[in-house]
Amino acid sequence: MKDVKIINPNFIDNLNCSKEKYVYLDPKDFEIYAYDIPAPNGYIELEKFPYCCEFHTHAYESTQEWIKLFPNCCENHKNLLRESWFNKSNYMGIALKVVRQISYTEHIINEKIKNTDWNEEITDYLEYNILSFGQLPKPYGVVGLQQYERNITHWIRQNSNIEQHKKEYILGFINEFRNQTPQEKTDLNILNNIYLKWLALFPFELEFFKSLKSKFIGKSPFIKQIGRKNRYTGETSAEIHTKDSFFNSLLELTNKLITETNSLISYQKGYLNDPVKTQIEIINQKRLLKLQKGYTNNSSNEERKFRRIIKSWLKDEKEYLSELITAIKTKDCQSHKETPLSKKNNRDNTPKKFEDLFCNPNNSNICLEILRVLDPPFIDSSNTYIGKNKGIFPLWIKVLKTHNPEPLIKHFDDKTYKNILNNHFKGLNLSKDASEFRKVYARLDTKGLEQQIKTILSQFSQSGRLGK
Ligand SMILES: [Zn+2]
Ligand SMILES: [Zn+2]
């Protein structure tokens, strides 16, 4: 329907040579031809139209008179005579188009003014009509649009069937549409460069932003606002961002992203599996941002400027390393703590053999020897219990467990010791509940025996028989 003619030959050259992603079409470089619109449904043209009544006759004849003068009608239009692309015969049918569209618009207003959506119906139709007049290259305006608007405005004003507030709404729309300030020229290449910088700057490398990156890469989010779809033209208007409004929209987007996705929210949702790793990523991103920004100093003295830049850089490096080291230390501590835990979970730590009781299994025989060399001995050479007091075993375990500087026996519960000892020593038979480990043995010289065991251990140690 729209027929656009590019009138600036340089533009075509630019289009072919440009290395930029977007090519900007300036309103001074093209003309949109006017086009006819069909009569609305149910419209019946009156007999002798446009000479059917005084109003239509006047609208038609005044436009005819004006087009005869055109482009000598005003100073602005006079300049058209110097334009090589201008051909007056293209605009000669305009008077009939104007009066027809006035009549169509009257029909639509009469039909729709009582509808609940009268405002959308009527303004969509007005927009449809206004756009059909096309446009001359800037600054020559639109041929015939003034005549259409002036007459339809007059018709609405004097129409007693339209309520006052509806009149004001419709006339307000026409007035606003006419006075629309042309959009501030926006070069999409400038917007695209801003966007690419933002993509590079935003910390998409952080774990919780990674999945979002693909949503933003390769996009051109330059539309500020999408309007309602016009029910007559079928078109949806879109407003392109200016540089300033695009900056603001990116600021809003940044704020939205960082407030909706962050450590707190990830933690609450249970996604923060490795907070220290995230912390390190954040420390790195912070340093990267500062490095991307670079270092400058306002000092007028060149030497001082240089010194201050280096000083500021050193301070940042020190801070970065300090944060990094703290985080890495935390990570190391965590992994140390994690190991015994996972071992506990993965492996049954219950000792199976007598040697398993010992921190160093090689010491099991020499510690056994203690029970044979005590006076009187408690076991014989074939590990049979020959003593008179089973209280020696808990005592023996206690001394080995608390041995300095390193314990010789690992810590287990009483029943574990009891099971291993009963298996290892024939005839020992410690009770099922290992009560021997909690009993007080009045007839056992506990202190004397403890001292004896320690002395023997010390002798073994000095003679090198006790391994570490
Ligand atoms: Zn008429
Ligand atoms: Zn003029």
Name residues with Cβ closer than 5 Å to ligand 1, which is an ion: 52-53, 56
At 239, is the secondary structure helix, strand, or coil? strand
| CB of 147 closer than 8 Å to CB of 133 | no
Name residues with Cβ closer than 5 Å to ligand 2, which is an ion: 73-74, 77
The CA 135 to ligand 2 mean position distance, Å, reads 14
The pLDDT of residue 184: 59
Rounded Cα distance, 186 and 133, in Å: 25
The CA 11 to ligand 1 mean position distance, Å, reads 45
What angle (nearest 5°) sits at the alpha carbon of residue 429, between those of residues 426 and 431?
165
The CA 152 to ligand 1 mean position distance, Å, reads 13
- In residues, how long is the chain? 468
Measure Cα distances from 111 to 132, 154, 229, 311, 345 in Å.
Answer: 21, 18, 21, 77, 81
pTM higher than 0.85, yes or no? no
The pLDDT of residue 212: 84
Residue 343 φ/ψ, nearest 5 degrees: -65, -40
The pLDDT of residue 181: 58
Residue pointed to by tokens 């055109």: 70
Rounded Cα distance, 30 and 134, in Å: 11
Ligand of minimum distance to the alpha carbon of 50: 1
The CA 123 to ligand 1 mean position distance, Å, reads 22
The CA 133 to ligand 2 mean position distance, Å, reads 15
Widest CA span in the chain: 143
Ligand of minimum distance to the alpha carbon of 76: 2
Q: Look at residue 466 and tell me whether its pLDDT is greater than 60.
A: yes
Rounded to an integer, the average pLDDT of 393-413 is: 88
In the structure encoding, which two tokens stand for residue 197, read together?
A: 């910088």
The pLDDT of residue 12: 66
Ligand of minimum distance to the alpha carbon of 155: 1
The CA 77 to ligand 2 mean position distance, Å, reads 5
Rounded to an integer, the average pLDDT of 140-151 is: 94
DSSP conformational letter for 465: -
Beta strand extents in 8-53 (DSSP E only): 30-33
The CA 163 to ligand 1 mean position distance, Å, reads 22
When mean pLDDT is compared over 219-228, 332-341, 345-354, 421-430, the highest value belongs to: 421-430
Read off the amino acid at residue 166.
K
The CA 64 to ligand 2 mean position distance, Å, reads 13
Condensed to tens digits (0 to 9), the pLDDT of residues 54-103 reads 999 999 999 999 999 999 999 999 999 999 999 999 999 999 999 999 99
The CA 134 to ligand 1 mean position distance, Å, reads 25
Condensed to tens digits (0 to 9), the pLDDT of residues 259-315 reads 887 777 777 777 777 888 888 888 888 888 888 888 888 888 877 877 888 888 888
The CA 153 to ligand 1 mean position distance, Å, reads 16
Ligand of minimum distance to the alpha carbon of 72: 2
Rounded Cα distance, 32 and 209, in Å: 46
Ligand of minimum distance to the alpha carbon of 49: 1
Dihedral angle, C-alpha 220, 260, 264, 341, nearest 10 °: -60
Q: Look at residue 342 and tell me whether its pLDDT is greater than 50.
A: no
Residue pointed to by tokens 């609305």: 40
The CA 79 to ligand 2 mean position distance, Å, reads 10
In three state form, how does the secondary structure of 155-168 look? HHHCCCCCCHHHHH
Dihedral angle, C-alpha 186, 190, 194, 196, nearest 10 °: 130
* Segments making up each domain of the chain, as ranges: 3-179, 188-273, 288-346, 354-462
Ligand of minimum distance to the alpha carbon of 66: 2
- Residue 386's contacts (CB-CB under 8 Å, 6 or more residues apart) are 377, 378, 379, 380
The CA 47 to ligand 1 mean position distance, Å, reads 9
